[in-house]
Structure 1
């Protein structure tokens, strides 16, 4: 069973619905879930917010947060996850914002991805993972896998 199938099965068991808020993955997380037939019973929606304007308009990320911390930050990932939860019918939302590459800087290197996880009635949890300069495709794929793992762990708790 794939990781996405495990997430869907766990969501059904928990009577939970899922939303995603994606930047660097451009919809790959929601695609992994919706590639599976029958996923519509637990997948609510996916927000693809690649630009800062989209993050603000669709998810309610504050302009001040983006200015102060930058788009690739746990603060923005937190607001993205909270916004996805608030602007959907989901009980669980995961967010990702990162630098898939090529590029990055000394302060925000290629391969850095910030994750947020929001659940109804709980505080948003965030973390940063440094995948390293392993190439754009690999960073994005590892981001999808990690986001699905976060969802699975939350659904099992």
Structure 2
């Protein structure tokens, strides 16, 4: 269990929100890290390990034309995986990993090319329709190291989004308490 996973579970518990995970290259490692945290069942609804490209389309709703044109290792694919698992499992937040752990390149992408994504509720302070965010990574190391760093990165991205949302809500409440100033 990582301290990041512990922090994610704690923040989601405090907020009363839920999480689902869509994984490709990490093959269930993100879900395993989260579920190693005591109390994770309060916030973690489940995961989809969509290793095969057709499962990304069929289970997570990733656009077929996008997959055909760009392959599974793509920032938009990661974003659609996160949104798709959030919708499929009925959660407040969805996170996703897709990339190339090696040993061979895939879809024209080099080993170590990884995209992690977060999709969450709309934030009133940002005016956004949803809390979607994608981070592109270029990771070094062997297959195991790339997968471990992908887990750490997607949880860190979610933690950053949860923390910024909390800060935004606190700002809004403070503004309200101070008469709008």
TM over 0.5: yes
Mapped partners of 1:90, 1:106: distance in 2: 30
Higher relative contact order (CA 8 A, sep 6+): 1
- Cross-structure match for 1:130: 138
Alpha-carbon shift at residue 124 of structure 1 (Å): 1.9
Is 1:154 the counterpart of 2:161? The answer is yes
- Structure 2's unaligned 5+ residue stretches are 123-129, 165-181
- Cross-structure match for 1:27: 28
Higher helix share: 2
Alignment of 1:70-149 (within 5 A): 70-104=71-105, 107-121=108-122, 122-132=130-140, 134-149=141-156
Max Rg structure: 2
- Structure 1's unaligned 5+ residue stretches are none
SS in 1 for 2:48: strand
Q: Give the TM-score taking structure 1 as reference length.
A: 0.94
How many residues are aligned here? 156
Q: What is the RMSD of the two structures over their aligned residues, measured on CA atoms?
A: 1.5
Mapped partners of 1:4, 1:124: distance in 2: 20
Q: Give 4+ residue runs of structure 1 displaced > 6 Å after superposition.
A: none
SS in 1 for 2:30: helix
Q: Give the TM-score taking structure 2 as reference length.
A: 0.82
Mapped partners of 2:91, 2:113: distance in 1: 27
Cα 1:106–1:26 shift into 2, 3 Å: closer
Cα 1:44–1:66 shift into 2, 3 Å: same
Alpha-carbon shift at residue 96 of structure 1 (Å): 0.6
